[in-house]
Structure 1
Amino acid sequence: MSESTGARARTVLAAGCVLWRRSPHSADGTEICLVHRPKYDDWSHPKGKLKHAEDALAGALREVLEETGHHCSPGARLGTVSYLVNGRPKEVVYWAAEATDGAFEPNDEVDRVLWLPPPTARTRLTQPRDRLLIDALLDSLPVKSAPES
């Protein structure tokens, strides 16, 4: 096994989504779902480790459902975030995903969710690296045209 293959084998592979919805409070607003993980006392986008041989998008959608209780419709791939966890490399692939239906119930991994406008979500996220994903999401959404007068 080459050194790069060995490093790749040790990399933790994960996937997640920047889950969003049209705001029920504003006709032109978007809200982003953040999850609170009590184990780490942090706010993040829903994500998790991939199961053996699991497709990354399938894993991302599974994690969203497990952590938020919401089904979603996947959109654009937003990119990969890489960082170290306990000295081991981790790569998380993210997609934009519009919430379609469902309801949150607290569970072992996530005790709270918040639906926030993008600027508020950006400041609530614990890790600065997660903030760039909000920009990528907003860039991927179709621009609403202004009503004609």
Structure 2
Amino acid sequence: MSDFDGQAPLPAESLCTAAGALGDRARAVLLHSPRPVFLFYLAQTFDQLGTQLARGLRPEPATPAEQLCLYLMLTHVERNCPGIDLSRDRALLTQRAGADLRTEFRAITGKSGDTYDFIALGDVLGAGGMGAFFAPFDSTDLVA
């Protein structure tokens, strides 16, 4: 499995561990959230990315949710695995996503740098934004 620009392999095992840990964090606050369905789908997104990585598949984010979750997984690995530098991969994801991903990332990192506030992410997105967050990037085949 290679990184996003085809240069070096991503540490798949570390990313799988990050997917599990972050999915568990989302599930941990699920019952205390005003938007438990959102957090359920967020945890499921981490699980799906972890499953892809465990199968040896290269992560190809198809939704804003997958893109943000992968970004968080890369950040988690870097924070918890000294010597692994994935900043280039995170920067590439941010560059492709533009301001939206950076805004969402700031919303969940908020006051503390080590834990993520997934409830705040739901608050930033609001009801209309949540549907778009989990919708595929290319949704041109939808019927009005």
TM-score of the aligned structures, taking structure 1 as reference length:
0.28
The structure that is helix-richer by fraction is 2
Q: Which has the higher contact order (CA 8 A, sep 6+)?
A: 1
TM-score of the aligned structures, taking structure 2 as reference length:
0.29
